[in-house]
Amino acid sequence: MNTSKIKNILFIVLIAVLSSVVTMLGYDVISKKGKTISGTTSPAVSEEMGAYANSFNQDKNLVLTNLTTSEGYPDFTEAAAKSVDGVVHVKTKTISQQQYINPFDFFFGFGDRTPQPREQVGFGSGVIISKDGYIITNNHVVENATEVSVSLNDNREFTAKVVGTDKMSDIALLKIEGDDFPYLTFGNSDALQVGEWVLAVGNPFNLTSTVTAGIVSAKNRGNVMGGGLGIQSFIQIDAAVNPGNSGGALVNTRGELVGINTAIYSQTGNFAGYAFAVPISIAGKIAADLKEFGAVQRAVLGIHVPNIENIRRENPDRARELSQIKGVLVEEFAERSAAKAAGVQKGDVLTAINNVPIRNFAELQSQLNRYRPGDKISVTVDRNGSSKTFNVELKNDEGNTEITRSVDAMGKLGATFRPLNDSTKNKLGISSGIEVMSVENNGLFKKNNINKGFIIMRINNTPVNSEDDIAKIVSATNSRQDKVLLIAGFYPNGRTQYIAIDLTTN
Protein backbone atom coordinates (compact mmCIF):
# COMPACT_ATOMS: atom_id res chain seq x y z
CA MET A 1 0.00 0.00 0.00
CA ASN A 2 1.55 3.31 -1.04
CA THR A 3 2.05 6.30 1.21
CA SER A 4 -0.75 8.42 -0.33
CA LYS A 5 -3.35 5.71 0.32
CA ILE A 6 -2.17 5.33 3.90
CA LYS A 7 -2.48 9.10 4.37
CA ASN A 8 -6.01 9.07 2.93
CA ILE A 9 -7.08 6.27 5.26
CA LEU A 10 -5.57 8.01 8.29
CA PHE A 11 -7.29 11.24 7.28
CA ILE A 12 -10.68 9.49 7.07
CA VAL A 13 -10.15 7.81 10.45
CA LEU A 14 -9.17 11.13 11.98
CA ILE A 15 -12.30 12.81 10.62
CA ALA A 16 -14.47 9.99 11.98
CA VAL A 17 -12.86 10.25 15.43
CA LEU A 18 -13.28 14.02 15.49
CA SER A 19 -16.93 13.69 14.42
CA SER A 20 -17.60 11.22 17.22
CA VAL A 21 -15.97 13.49 19.80
CA VAL A 22 -17.94 16.52 18.60
CA THR A 23 -21.18 14.53 18.66
CA MET A 24 -20.54 13.29 22.20
CA LEU A 25 -19.60 16.77 23.40
CA GLY A 26 -22.68 18.20 21.73
CA TYR A 27 -24.95 15.60 23.35
CA ASP A 28 -23.35 16.33 26.73
CA VAL A 29 -23.92 20.07 26.32
CA ILE A 30 -27.52 19.51 25.22
CA SER A 31 -28.13 17.17 28.16
CA LYS A 32 -26.69 19.68 30.60
CA LYS A 33 -28.76 22.45 29.08
CA GLY A 34 -31.84 20.26 29.34
CA LYS A 35 -31.15 19.70 33.02
CA THR A 36 -30.71 23.42 33.53
CA ILE A 37 -34.11 24.11 31.99
CA SER A 38 -36.15 21.31 33.53
CA GLY A 39 -33.83 19.38 35.79
CA THR A 40 -33.60 19.31 39.55
CA THR A 41 -35.27 22.67 40.08
CA SER A 42 -38.81 23.36 38.94
CA PRO A 43 -39.80 26.66 37.31
CA ALA A 44 -40.48 29.12 40.10
CA VAL A 45 -43.80 28.47 41.84
CA SER A 46 -45.75 31.62 42.61
CA GLU A 47 -45.79 33.02 46.13
CA GLU A 48 -49.47 32.09 46.44
CA MET A 49 -48.89 28.47 45.37
CA GLY A 50 -46.01 28.23 47.82
CA ALA A 51 -48.39 29.31 50.58
CA TYR A 52 -50.97 26.70 49.56
CA ALA A 53 -48.28 23.99 49.51
CA ASN A 54 -47.22 25.09 52.99
CA SER A 55 -50.83 24.66 54.14
CA PHE A 56 -50.30 20.93 53.70
CA ASN A 57 -46.63 20.89 54.87
CA GLN A 58 -45.37 19.65 51.53
CA ASP A 59 -41.67 18.79 51.28
CA LYS A 60 -40.20 20.75 48.36
CA ASN A 61 -37.54 18.07 47.81
CA LEU A 62 -40.04 15.41 46.79
CA VAL A 63 -39.66 16.03 43.05
CA LEU A 64 -37.88 14.18 40.28
CA THR A 65 -35.42 15.13 37.59
CA ASN A 66 -37.02 15.53 34.17
CA LEU A 67 -35.55 12.34 32.76
CA THR A 68 -34.86 11.28 29.19
CA THR A 69 -33.67 7.99 27.76
CA SER A 70 -30.21 7.64 26.20
CA GLU A 71 -31.89 8.11 22.83
CA GLY A 72 -33.27 11.48 23.97
CA TYR A 73 -36.92 10.35 24.31
CA PRO A 74 -38.98 11.29 27.39
CA ASP A 75 -38.83 8.73 30.19
CA PHE A 76 -42.03 8.63 32.27
CA THR A 77 -41.22 5.59 34.39
CA GLU A 78 -40.09 7.36 37.57
CA ALA A 79 -42.81 10.01 37.38
CA ALA A 80 -45.42 7.25 36.90
CA ALA A 81 -44.02 5.17 39.77
CA LYS A 82 -44.13 8.18 42.11
CA SER A 83 -47.59 9.24 41.02
CA VAL A 84 -49.49 5.97 41.36
CA ASP A 85 -48.65 5.76 45.06
CA GLY A 86 -50.12 9.21 45.64
CA VAL A 87 -53.36 8.57 43.73
CA VAL A 88 -56.22 6.75 45.47
CA HIS A 89 -59.33 4.90 44.36
CA VAL A 90 -62.42 6.62 45.78
CA LYS A 91 -65.57 4.60 46.47
CA THR A 92 -68.84 6.27 47.47
CA LYS A 93 -72.27 5.15 48.62
CA THR A 94 -75.34 7.29 47.99
CA ILE A 95 -79.01 6.77 48.67
CA SER A 96 -81.35 7.40 45.74
CA GLN A 97 -85.12 7.50 45.96
CA GLN A 98 -87.06 5.16 43.66
CA GLN A 99 -90.78 5.51 43.23
CA TYR A 100 -92.36 2.16 44.12
CA ILE A 101 -95.78 1.60 42.55
CA ASN A 102 -97.99 -1.10 44.00
CA PRO A 103 -99.53 -3.18 41.18
CA PHE A 104 -102.94 -2.85 42.88
CA ASP A 105 -102.84 0.84 41.95
CA PHE A 106 -103.58 -0.09 38.36
CA PHE A 107 -106.82 -1.83 39.40
CA PHE A 108 -108.10 0.09 42.40
CA GLY A 109 -106.36 3.47 42.12
CA PHE A 110 -104.73 3.37 45.51
CA GLY A 111 -101.75 1.77 47.17
CA ASP A 112 -98.25 2.46 48.37
CA ARG A 113 -96.41 5.10 46.35
CA THR A 114 -93.77 5.77 48.98
CA PRO A 115 -90.32 6.38 47.43
CA GLN A 116 -88.05 3.47 48.30
CA PRO A 117 -84.40 4.11 49.16
CA ARG A 118 -81.84 2.35 47.03
CA GLU A 119 -78.12 2.30 47.72
CA GLN A 120 -75.88 3.21 44.79
CA VAL A 121 -72.12 2.76 44.59
CA GLY A 122 -69.87 5.16 42.69
CA PHE A 123 -66.17 5.22 41.91
CA GLY A 124 -63.60 7.86 41.14
CA SER A 125 -60.07 8.96 41.93
CA GLY A 126 -58.33 11.27 44.37
CA VAL A 127 -54.84 12.66 45.02
CA ILE A 128 -53.07 12.58 48.39
CA ILE A 129 -51.47 16.00 48.92
CA SER A 130 -50.10 15.71 52.44
CA LYS A 131 -48.29 13.26 54.66
CA ASP A 132 -51.21 13.29 57.12
CA GLY A 133 -53.82 12.22 54.57
CA TYR A 134 -55.52 15.19 52.92
CA ILE A 135 -56.90 14.24 49.51
CA ILE A 136 -58.14 16.38 46.60
CA THR A 137 -60.88 14.95 44.39
CA ASN A 138 -63.83 16.23 42.36
CA ASN A 139 -67.03 17.42 44.00
CA HIS A 140 -69.10 15.31 41.60
CA VAL A 141 -67.26 12.18 42.81
CA VAL A 142 -68.45 12.59 46.43
CA GLU A 143 -71.57 14.72 45.98
CA ASN A 144 -74.54 13.44 48.03
CA ALA A 145 -72.44 10.53 49.34
CA THR A 146 -73.45 9.08 52.70
CA GLU A 147 -70.19 7.12 52.91
CA VAL A 148 -66.76 7.67 51.30
CA SER A 149 -63.84 5.23 51.39
CA VAL A 150 -60.49 5.22 49.63
CA SER A 151 -58.06 2.48 48.61
CA LEU A 152 -54.35 3.16 48.24
CA ASN A 153 -52.06 1.62 45.66
CA ASP A 154 -50.76 -0.78 48.34
CA ASN A 155 -54.39 -2.00 48.88
CA ARG A 156 -54.85 -0.33 52.26
CA GLU A 157 -58.43 0.93 52.72
CA PHE A 158 -59.63 3.88 54.79
CA THR A 159 -62.90 5.60 55.57
CA ALA A 160 -62.64 9.21 54.40
CA LYS A 161 -64.17 12.32 55.92
CA VAL A 162 -65.43 15.00 53.53
CA VAL A 163 -63.74 18.16 54.85
CA GLY A 164 -65.43 20.43 52.34
CA THR A 165 -66.75 20.69 48.80
CA ASP A 166 -67.00 23.41 46.18
CA LYS A 167 -69.53 22.96 43.40
CA MET A 168 -68.33 25.92 41.33
CA SER A 169 -64.85 24.48 40.78
CA ASP A 170 -65.93 20.83 41.14
CA ILE A 171 -63.24 20.37 43.82
CA ALA A 172 -63.61 18.54 47.15
CA LEU A 173 -61.20 17.91 50.03
CA LEU A 174 -61.16 14.60 51.91
CA LYS A 175 -59.19 13.42 54.97
CA ILE A 176 -58.05 9.96 56.03
CA GLU A 177 -56.41 9.22 59.36
CA GLY A 178 -52.67 8.55 59.38
CA ASP A 179 -49.35 10.37 59.39
CA ASP A 180 -47.10 8.76 56.79
CA PHE A 181 -48.89 8.64 53.44
CA PRO A 182 -47.15 9.03 50.06
CA TYR A 183 -48.26 12.27 48.44
CA LEU A 184 -47.77 14.47 45.41
CA THR A 185 -46.31 17.96 45.68
CA PHE A 186 -47.80 20.95 43.89
CA GLY A 187 -46.14 21.89 40.62
CA ASN A 188 -46.34 25.10 38.62
CA SER A 189 -49.38 24.83 36.37
CA ASP A 190 -48.77 28.38 35.14
CA ALA A 191 -45.46 27.26 33.64
CA LEU A 192 -47.04 24.45 31.58
CA GLN A 193 -46.59 24.95 27.87
CA VAL A 194 -48.79 23.80 25.02
CA GLY A 195 -47.16 20.67 23.64
CA GLU A 196 -45.57 19.68 26.97
CA TRP A 197 -45.81 16.02 28.03
CA VAL A 198 -48.12 15.22 30.97
CA LEU A 199 -49.44 12.06 32.62
CA ALA A 200 -53.03 11.36 33.72
CA VAL A 201 -53.18 9.00 36.73
CA GLY A 202 -56.42 7.50 38.02
CA ASN A 203 -58.85 4.60 38.03
CA PRO A 204 -60.79 4.52 34.74
CA PHE A 205 -63.59 1.94 34.52
CA ASN A 206 -62.68 0.85 38.05
CA LEU A 207 -59.20 -0.24 36.88
CA THR A 208 -56.83 0.92 39.59
CA SER A 209 -53.46 2.68 39.20
CA THR A 210 -53.74 3.48 35.51
CA VAL A 211 -51.31 5.89 33.84
CA THR A 212 -51.84 7.46 30.41
CA ALA A 213 -49.63 10.01 28.63
CA GLY A 214 -50.37 12.94 26.37
CA ILE A 215 -49.58 16.57 25.80
CA VAL A 216 -51.06 19.87 26.92
CA SER A 217 -53.42 20.74 24.07
CA ALA A 218 -54.49 24.17 25.33
CA LYS A 219 -54.49 26.32 28.47
CA ASN A 220 -57.14 28.54 30.04
CA ARG A 221 -59.82 26.68 28.12
CA GLY A 222 -63.26 28.13 28.86
CA ASN A 223 -66.84 27.25 27.98
CA VAL A 224 -66.28 23.57 28.80
CA MET A 225 -69.50 21.54 29.00
CA GLY A 226 -71.48 24.58 27.89
CA GLY A 227 -70.24 26.55 30.87
CA GLY A 228 -71.84 24.14 33.33
CA LEU A 229 -69.10 24.80 35.89
CA GLY A 230 -68.39 28.12 37.54
CA ILE A 231 -64.66 27.73 36.94
CA GLN A 232 -63.86 28.16 33.25
CA SER A 233 -60.07 28.03 33.03
CA PHE A 234 -59.09 24.44 32.29
CA ILE A 235 -55.95 22.69 31.09
CA GLN A 236 -56.91 20.74 27.97
CA ILE A 237 -54.98 17.51 27.38
CA ASP A 238 -55.08 14.61 24.95
CA ALA A 239 -54.07 11.92 27.46
CA ALA A 240 -56.80 9.25 27.66
CA VAL A 241 -59.22 10.07 30.48
CA ASN A 242 -62.39 8.03 31.06
CA PRO A 243 -65.13 7.61 33.70
CA GLY A 244 -63.36 6.82 36.97
CA ASN A 245 -60.46 9.19 36.23
CA SER A 246 -62.41 12.06 37.78
CA GLY A 247 -60.47 13.53 40.69
CA GLY A 248 -57.22 11.92 39.58
CA ALA A 249 -53.84 13.52 39.04
CA LEU A 250 -52.43 15.39 36.08
CA VAL A 251 -48.67 15.37 36.60
CA ASN A 252 -45.68 16.67 34.70
CA THR A 253 -42.64 14.52 33.89
CA ARG A 254 -41.11 15.55 37.22
CA GLY A 255 -43.92 13.82 39.08
CA GLU A 256 -45.43 17.12 40.31
CA LEU A 257 -49.18 17.65 40.54
CA VAL A 258 -50.23 20.30 38.02
CA GLY A 259 -53.97 19.60 37.72
CA ILE A 260 -57.01 17.58 38.81
CA ASN A 261 -58.61 15.62 35.94
CA THR A 262 -62.25 16.68 35.88
CA ALA A 263 -64.09 16.35 32.57
CA ILE A 264 -64.04 14.87 29.10
CA TYR A 265 -65.63 16.16 25.92
CA SER A 266 -67.43 13.26 24.33
CA GLN A 267 -70.71 12.35 22.66
CA THR A 268 -70.46 8.78 23.95
CA GLY A 269 -69.38 9.41 27.55
CA ASN A 270 -65.96 7.86 26.92
CA PHE A 271 -62.67 9.43 25.85
CA ALA A 272 -62.74 11.03 22.43
CA GLY A 273 -59.44 12.91 22.41
CA TYR A 274 -60.31 15.83 24.69
CA ALA A 275 -59.97 15.94 28.47
CA PHE A 276 -59.88 18.82 30.92
CA ALA A 277 -58.16 19.37 34.26
CA VAL A 278 -58.56 22.08 36.90
CA PRO A 279 -55.10 23.73 37.23
CA ILE A 280 -53.46 23.18 40.58
CA SER A 281 -53.10 26.97 40.86
CA ILE A 282 -56.88 26.95 41.35
CA ALA A 283 -57.44 23.52 42.95
CA GLY A 284 -54.61 24.04 45.47
CA LYS A 285 -56.04 27.35 46.62
CA ILE A 286 -59.53 25.85 46.98
CA ALA A 287 -58.16 22.90 48.96
CA ALA A 288 -56.26 25.26 51.28
CA ASP A 289 -59.42 27.33 51.80
CA LEU A 290 -61.53 24.25 52.57
CA LYS A 291 -58.95 23.05 55.08
CA GLU A 292 -58.57 26.39 56.85
CA PHE A 293 -62.07 27.86 56.63
CA GLY A 294 -64.37 25.03 55.51
CA ALA A 295 -65.51 27.28 52.63
CA VAL A 296 -63.89 28.81 49.57
CA GLN A 297 -62.86 32.46 49.85
CA ARG A 298 -63.73 34.01 46.48
CA ALA A 299 -62.41 37.41 45.51
CA VAL A 300 -64.19 39.52 42.91
CA LEU A 301 -63.40 42.75 41.09
CA GLY A 302 -67.07 43.71 40.87
CA ILE A 303 -67.21 44.11 37.10
CA HIS A 304 -69.61 42.81 34.45
CA VAL A 305 -68.24 41.75 31.08
CA PRO A 306 -70.03 41.08 27.76
CA ASN A 307 -71.23 37.52 27.17
CA ILE A 308 -69.93 37.04 23.66
CA GLU A 309 -71.78 33.74 23.13
CA ASN A 310 -75.14 35.37 23.85
CA ILE A 311 -74.29 38.43 21.77
CA ARG A 312 -73.23 36.25 18.84
CA ARG A 313 -76.79 34.88 18.51
CA GLU A 314 -78.31 38.36 18.25
CA ASN A 315 -75.52 40.50 16.81
CA PRO A 316 -72.74 38.51 15.08
CA ASP A 317 -70.91 41.67 13.97
CA ARG A 318 -70.76 43.00 17.53
CA ALA A 319 -69.60 39.59 18.80
CA ARG A 320 -66.86 39.50 16.16
CA GLU A 321 -65.73 42.98 17.22
CA LEU A 322 -65.61 42.00 20.90
CA SER A 323 -63.70 38.79 20.18
CA GLN A 324 -60.88 40.87 18.63
CA ILE A 325 -60.25 42.72 21.91
CA LYS A 326 -57.00 41.66 23.62
CA GLY A 327 -58.21 41.85 27.19
CA VAL A 328 -61.52 42.03 29.05
CA LEU A 329 -63.97 44.86 28.41
CA VAL A 330 -65.56 46.42 31.50
CA GLU A 331 -69.20 46.73 30.46
CA GLU A 332 -70.78 47.53 33.84
CA PHE A 333 -70.12 47.35 37.58
CA ALA A 334 -71.66 45.39 40.43
CA GLU A 335 -73.60 47.37 43.04
CA ARG A 336 -70.53 47.37 45.30
CA SER A 337 -67.45 47.24 43.09
CA ALA A 338 -63.83 47.10 44.23
CA ALA A 339 -62.67 47.99 40.71
CA LYS A 340 -64.91 51.05 40.49
CA ALA A 341 -63.78 52.25 43.91
CA ALA A 342 -60.16 52.04 42.73
CA GLY A 343 -60.82 54.18 39.64
CA VAL A 344 -61.61 51.71 36.85
CA GLN A 345 -64.26 53.04 34.44
CA LYS A 346 -66.83 51.57 32.09
CA GLY A 347 -65.28 51.00 28.66
CA ASP A 348 -61.84 50.22 30.09
CA VAL A 349 -60.18 47.09 28.72
CA LEU A 350 -58.50 45.12 31.50
CA THR A 351 -55.12 43.88 30.18
CA ALA A 352 -53.12 42.64 33.21
CA ILE A 353 -53.38 41.51 36.83
CA ASN A 354 -50.17 42.00 38.83
CA ASN A 355 -48.35 42.38 35.50
CA VAL A 356 -49.65 39.00 34.25
CA PRO A 357 -51.16 39.58 30.77
CA ILE A 358 -54.92 39.03 30.49
CA ARG A 359 -56.22 38.30 26.99
CA ASN A 360 -59.70 36.91 27.74
CA PHE A 361 -62.18 36.22 30.52
CA ALA A 362 -60.81 32.72 31.20
CA GLU A 363 -57.37 34.17 31.92
CA LEU A 364 -58.90 36.85 34.14
CA GLN A 365 -60.78 34.20 36.09
CA SER A 366 -57.65 32.06 36.35
CA GLN A 367 -55.83 34.91 38.03
CA LEU A 368 -58.65 36.03 40.36
CA ASN A 369 -59.31 32.47 41.55
CA ARG A 370 -55.96 32.41 43.33
CA TYR A 371 -56.73 35.40 45.57
CA ARG A 372 -58.88 35.94 48.64
CA PRO A 373 -61.05 38.91 49.70
CA GLY A 374 -58.79 41.54 51.25
CA ASP A 375 -55.84 40.79 48.95
CA LYS A 376 -54.48 43.84 47.11
CA ILE A 377 -53.64 43.53 43.41
CA SER A 378 -52.57 45.87 40.61
CA VAL A 379 -54.97 46.09 37.67
CA THR A 380 -53.77 47.45 34.34
CA VAL A 381 -56.32 48.75 31.85
CA ASP A 382 -56.29 50.23 28.37
CA ARG A 383 -58.35 53.44 28.39
CA ASN A 384 -58.73 54.92 24.92
CA GLY A 385 -55.26 53.75 23.93
CA SER A 386 -53.58 54.85 27.15
CA SER A 387 -52.36 52.35 29.77
CA LYS A 388 -53.35 52.99 33.38
CA THR A 389 -52.71 50.94 36.54
CA PHE A 390 -54.89 50.85 39.66
CA ASN A 391 -54.40 49.27 43.07
CA VAL A 392 -57.51 47.26 43.94
CA GLU A 393 -58.44 45.68 47.26
CA LEU A 394 -60.49 42.63 46.30
CA LYS A 395 -63.89 42.04 47.93
CA ASN A 396 -66.23 39.09 48.33
CA ASP A 397 -69.67 38.78 46.71
CA GLU A 398 -71.21 40.82 49.52
CA GLY A 399 -68.83 43.76 48.93
CA ASN A 400 -66.62 43.32 52.01
CA THR A 401 -63.43 41.48 52.98
CA GLU A 402 -64.85 39.26 55.72
CA ILE A 403 -63.90 35.58 55.82
CA THR A 404 -66.66 33.15 54.87
CA ARG A 405 -66.84 30.05 57.05
CA SER A 406 -68.80 26.86 56.54
CA VAL A 407 -72.02 26.49 58.44
CA ASP A 408 -72.31 23.63 60.91
CA ALA A 409 -75.55 22.13 59.60
CA MET A 410 -75.84 19.68 62.50
CA GLY A 411 -75.38 22.55 64.93
CA LYS A 412 -78.17 24.46 63.20
CA LEU A 413 -80.58 21.64 64.05
CA GLY A 414 -80.10 22.47 67.71
CA ALA A 415 -80.80 19.01 69.13
CA THR A 416 -79.23 16.08 70.93
CA PHE A 417 -80.16 12.46 70.32
CA ARG A 418 -80.29 9.07 72.05
CA PRO A 419 -80.18 5.73 70.19
CA LEU A 420 -83.01 3.28 70.89
CA ASN A 421 -82.25 -0.29 71.96
CA ASP A 422 -83.89 -3.25 70.26
CA SER A 423 -86.44 -3.81 73.02
CA THR A 424 -87.65 -0.20 72.81
CA LYS A 425 -87.92 -0.48 69.03
CA ASN A 426 -89.92 -3.69 69.35
CA LYS A 427 -92.21 -2.07 71.90
CA LEU A 428 -92.81 0.87 69.56
CA GLY A 429 -93.20 -1.46 66.56
CA ILE A 430 -90.42 0.14 64.51
CA SER A 431 -87.31 -1.23 62.83
CA SER A 432 -85.29 1.99 62.94
CA GLY A 433 -85.36 5.07 65.09
CA ILE A 434 -83.59 7.54 67.36
CA GLU A 435 -85.02 9.72 70.12
CA VAL A 436 -84.65 13.50 70.40
CA MET A 437 -83.28 14.13 73.90
CA SER A 438 -83.22 17.93 73.95
CA VAL A 439 -83.73 20.94 71.68
CA GLU A 440 -82.39 24.49 71.72
CA ASN A 441 -84.77 27.43 71.51
CA ASN A 442 -83.00 28.94 68.48
CA GLY A 443 -82.48 25.66 66.61
CA LEU A 444 -84.29 24.47 63.47
CA PHE A 445 -85.91 21.56 65.32
CA LYS A 446 -87.60 23.89 67.80
CA LYS A 447 -88.69 26.27 65.03
CA ASN A 448 -90.31 23.34 63.21
CA ASN A 449 -92.08 22.03 66.33
CA ILE A 450 -89.84 19.01 66.91
CA ASN A 451 -89.39 18.68 70.66
CA LYS A 452 -87.93 16.36 73.26
CA GLY A 453 -89.28 12.81 73.00
CA PHE A 454 -89.86 12.85 69.24
CA ILE A 455 -88.86 9.57 67.60
CA ILE A 456 -87.16 9.98 64.21
CA MET A 457 -87.52 6.89 62.00
CA ARG A 458 -86.24 8.19 58.67
CA ILE A 459 -84.65 11.31 57.20
CA ASN A 460 -84.97 11.76 53.44
CA ASN A 461 -86.43 8.26 53.46
CA THR A 462 -83.19 6.79 54.86
CA PRO A 463 -83.48 4.85 58.15
CA VAL A 464 -81.58 6.38 61.08
CA ASN A 465 -80.38 4.61 64.20
CA SER A 466 -77.58 6.86 65.45
CA GLU A 467 -76.45 10.47 65.53
CA ASP A 468 -73.76 9.51 63.00
CA ASP A 469 -76.51 8.40 60.59
CA ILE A 470 -78.15 11.80 60.95
CA ALA A 471 -74.84 13.64 60.48
CA LYS A 472 -74.11 11.81 57.21
CA ILE A 473 -77.54 12.61 55.79
CA VAL A 474 -77.35 16.23 56.89
CA SER A 475 -73.87 16.58 55.35
CA ALA A 476 -75.02 15.07 52.06
CA THR A 477 -78.14 17.24 52.00
CA ASN A 478 -76.17 20.39 52.80
CA SER A 479 -74.07 19.86 49.66
CA ARG A 480 -77.13 19.63 47.41
CA GLN A 481 -78.94 22.49 45.75
CA ASP A 482 -82.21 21.71 47.56
CA LYS A 483 -81.04 21.68 51.16
CA VAL A 484 -84.21 20.16 52.62
CA LEU A 485 -84.53 17.41 55.22
CA LEU A 486 -87.77 15.41 55.17
CA ILE A 487 -88.12 13.89 58.63
CA ALA A 488 -90.53 11.04 59.31
CA GLY A 489 -91.25 10.40 62.97
CA PHE A 490 -93.77 10.47 65.83
CA TYR A 491 -94.31 11.05 69.49
CA PRO A 492 -95.07 7.85 71.45
CA ASN A 493 -98.79 7.04 71.06
CA GLY A 494 -99.06 9.73 68.38
CA ARG A 495 -99.50 9.57 64.62
CA THR A 496 -96.61 9.60 62.15
CA GLN A 497 -95.60 13.10 61.07
CA TYR A 498 -93.64 14.29 58.04
CA ILE A 499 -91.74 17.50 58.69
CA ALA A 500 -89.64 19.36 56.11
CA ILE A 501 -86.69 21.43 57.36
CA ASP A 502 -84.90 23.88 55.08
CA LEU A 503 -81.22 24.01 56.09
CA THR A 504 -80.79 27.42 54.43
CA THR A 505 -83.07 29.12 56.97
CA ASN A 506 -81.72 30.65 60.16
58-115 pLDDT, tens per residue?
987 777 766 666 666 778 998 999 899 999 999 998 876 554 444 444 344 444 444 5
Residue 304 is a catalytic residue = no
Question: Which tens digit of pLDDT belongs to each residue from 252-290?
Answer: 999 999 999 998 877 787 888 889 999 999 999 999 999
- Whether 487 shows a pLDDT value over 50: the answer reads yes
> Which CATH number is 85-175 given?
2.40.10.10
For the chain, the structural domain boundaries read: 85-175, 189-293, 303-393, 409-502
Q: Do domains 85-175 and 189-293 have the same CATH topology?
A: yes
Per-residue pLDDT averaged across 391-410, rounded? Answer: 83
Superfamily designation of domain 189-293: Trypsin-like serine proteases (2.40.10.10)
Per-residue pLDDT averaged across 169-180, rounded? Answer: 95
- What is the b/e burial string over 73-85, where b = at least 16 CB atoms within 10 angstroms of the residue's CB? eebbeebbebbbb
Helices (H), 306-359: 308-314, 316-323, 338-342
Average model confidence (pLDDT) across the chain: 84
Please pick, among 140, 190, 217, 281, the residue that the annotation labels catalytic.
140
pLDDT band at 22 (very low <50, low <70, confident <90, very high): very low
Please pick, among 246, 281, 366, 479, the residue that the annotation labels catalytic.
246
176-182: long-range contacts (C-beta < 8 A, 24 or more apart)?
Answer: 176/133, 176/135, 176/150, 177/133, 178/132, 178/133, 179/131, 179/132, 179/133, 180/131, 181/128, 181/130, 181/131, 181/132, 181/133, 181/152, 182/82, 182/85, 182/86, 182/128
Residue 246 is a catalytic residue = yes
> Which CATH number is 303-393 given?
2.30.42.10
Gap between the Cα atoms of 102 and 99, Å rounded: 10
The percent of residues in the chain predicted with pLDDT above 70, rounded, is 82
Domain 409-502 belongs to what topology? Pdz3 Domain (2.30.42)
Question: Which tens digit of pLDDT belongs to each residue from 338-390?
Answer: 999 999 999 999 999 999 999 988 889 889 988 999 999 999 999 999 999 99
Q: Residues 200, 212: contact at Cβ < 8 Å?
A: yes
Residue 140 is a catalytic residue = yes
Please pick, among 170, 238, 289, 348, the residue that the annotation labels catalytic.
170
pTM: 0.74
Among 14-18, 222-226, 394-398, which range has the highest average pLDDT?
394-398
Taking each helix axis from N to C terminus, what angle separates 280-293 and 47-55, rounded to the nearest 10 degrees?
50
Q: What are phi and psi of 439, to 5 degrees?
A: -135, 150
- Whether 391 shows a pLDDT value over 50: the answer reads yes
Q: DSSP state, 492? A: T
Q: What pLDDT is recorded for position 230?
A: 65
